[in-house]
Structure 1
């Protein structure tokens, strides 16, 4: 299923999870040097997550919008049951900020929580499903074991 058309006027994906392949992500969002650079970094991170048994990731952030020069790619994942993510090196939640600063990949372990301003607390995936003004937006869903090289 191809990447859906970004909604105007905010440039977001339509609300919901949109299952895509790696090829569809690169074709739909790799249209300039900054975006291709982020995709190269994302590829390395996703390979490492796949090797550790992660099945599914959700992509969000300015990268999956109409922003010409996105700051980063937000990635939400769920670790396999019993995984010791603290021992995953640069993929560890303890090193999230370091990874983001080095690569532009902001990696979030689900089902962590987040909130916009003083709003209600929600799962990190639900948090990324709205913006700071509570406007709904979609996420890209990538099945690593099926739709990623």
Structure 2
């Protein structure tokens, strides 16, 4: 991607486990802190019935010190009564999410205001070049870190 300042994932949705994400993207102390915040959020979403989380942002690039991670979660099957309200709090630039998780979580079907695309699609466009890029998919129903496995 010639317009990107950092190496990004090839276009498409790439399935990974949390352990694989940790092995590839949590290589420094700072990146491990971001990863730990991601795991906290993913676990909370899993408790509410979320099955899929997509990870994007500078965290899944070669940027030496990413600002944070961006994630979106599939609302299918999520039980609203079990969903922490923080996942729908977008006030103050998503300050509560950033404080709790060191990153941001959006419903995957939520429309990003600037481009009119659902976040899951918006995340697949490089913001510097406009080219297609990849995102990670974590299947929460089978991820070994969450202590569940497919039956």
Q: TM-score, normalised by structure 1?
A: 0.82
Q: Within 5 Å, which residues of 2 pair with 1:1-149?
A: 10-81=6-77, 83-84=79-80, 88-94=84-90, 96-114=94-112, 120-132=115-127, 133-149=129-145
Report the Cα offset of residue 107 of structure 1. 0.6
Q: Which runs of 5+ in 1 are unaligned?
A: 1-7
CA distance in 2, matches of 1:121, 1:91: 20
Q: 98-107 or 76-85, which moves further after superposition?
A: 76-85
What's the RMSD between the two structures over aligned residues? 2.3
Per-residue Cα deviation, 1:88-128 (whole angstroms, up to 9, x for no partner): 23223446432124432211012011255xxx421111111
CA distance in 1, matches of 2:43, 2:138: 12
Counterpart for residue 149 of structure 2: none
Q: Which runs of 5+ in 2 are unaligned?
A: 146-151
CA distance in 1, matches of 2:81, 2:109: 13
Contact 1:93 1:107 in 2 (8 A): no
Per-residue Cα deviation, 1:65-86 (whole angstroms, up to 9, x for no partner): 0011111111110123473279
Report the Cα offset of residue 87 of structure 1. 5.8
Q: 70-79 or 126-135, which moves further after superposition?
A: 126-135
Which structure has the higher relative contact order (CA within 8 Å, separation 6+)? 2
Q: TM-score, normalised by structure 2?
A: 0.81
Structure 1 residue ranges (4+ consecutive) displaced by more than 4 angstroms after TM superposition: none
Aligned length: 139
Report the Cα offset of residue 148 of structure 1. 4.3
